[in-house]
Amino acid sequence: MSEPAIALTGLGRAYGERWALRDLTLELGVGQTLVVFGPNGAGKSTLLRVLATLARPQAGEARVLGKLVPKQGWAVRAKLGFLAHDPLLYRDLTARENLTYHARLYGVKAQRIDELLEAVEMTKRADEPVRTLSRGMVQRMAVCRTVLHSPELLLLDEPVANLDPAATALVSSLVGPTSGTTRVVTSHDPVGGLEQADIALGLRDGRPVLLAPASEVSAADIGALYS
């Protein structure tokens, strides 16, 4: 049996005296998708930050791609693609300049940049400063940055936020279920989120209150998290 892409045991993370995440135990297989639901402040973004080696667990253990994080984070960071609410783009640089900067960090060829720009239909706007682009266009560029180095694991915080249906369709080939990549996705869309996932996790006040195969979870189950 192959090693899981993610293995969490009693995971917890606190900020001061407040536990943002606690008592989380789960496994996610290679190529699977975990969708994470919960109201604002439930711990969704904290979970992604721990998996991305940006936040240190204060309880339990987290293994990502076979490595203990953050202790062995150096061994997995280049294999991760993290899409946060902050697009992590330099506003005064053009879209192409942003991708070129990140490409150099990972040793990615310029051809890959051109392919991604075309995939999200941003070629014509690629040489304009990011600060002049709409929120939806910035989100498309953030998706390009996330997948630029062909990561093994995608950590996606509401990846289709600010996108209209046409743009959502464009980025889905890069970060959607057909991308063939192991994914952890936060979502507020019960129907769409469940359809695209293998495992569903529901958080409330930092605690897991739902963890089951997505096929066994209903939209009503997810709605109860917000009541």
Which pLDDT does position 2 carry in this prediction? 79
169-199 burial by CB neighbour count: b if 16+ within 10 A, else e? ebbbebbbeebebbbbbbbbebeebbebbbb
For residue range 28-67, what is the model confidence (pLDDT) as tens digits?
Answer: 999 999 999 999 999 999 999 999 999 999 999 999 999 9
The type of residue at 87 is P
Is 188 strand, coil or helix? Answer: coil
Q: How many helices (H) and strands (E) in the chain? A: 7, 10
In one-letter notation, the amino acid at residue 66 is G
- Average pLDDT of the residues in 9-20: 95
Region 186-205 average pLDDT = 95
**CA–CA distance, 41 with 204 (Å, rounded to integer):** 8
CATH superfamily, domain 6-226, is P-loop containing nucleotide triphosphate hydrolases (3.40.50.300)
Q: How far apart are CA 142 and CA 159, in angstroms?
A: 9
Highest mean pLDDT among 84-88, 153-157, 189-193: 153-157
- Residues 77 and 79: their CA atoms lie apart, in Å, by 5
Query: With a threshold of 0.85, does the pTM exceed it?
Result: yes
Neighbours of 86 (CB within 10 A): 8
Band of residue 227 on the pLDDT scale cut at 50, 70, 90: confident
d(CA 91, CA 44): 26
Task: Write out the DSSP string of 24-92.
Answer: EEEEE-TT-EEEEE--TTSSHHHHHHHHTTSS--SEEEEEETTEETTTTGGGTGGGEEEE-SS----TT
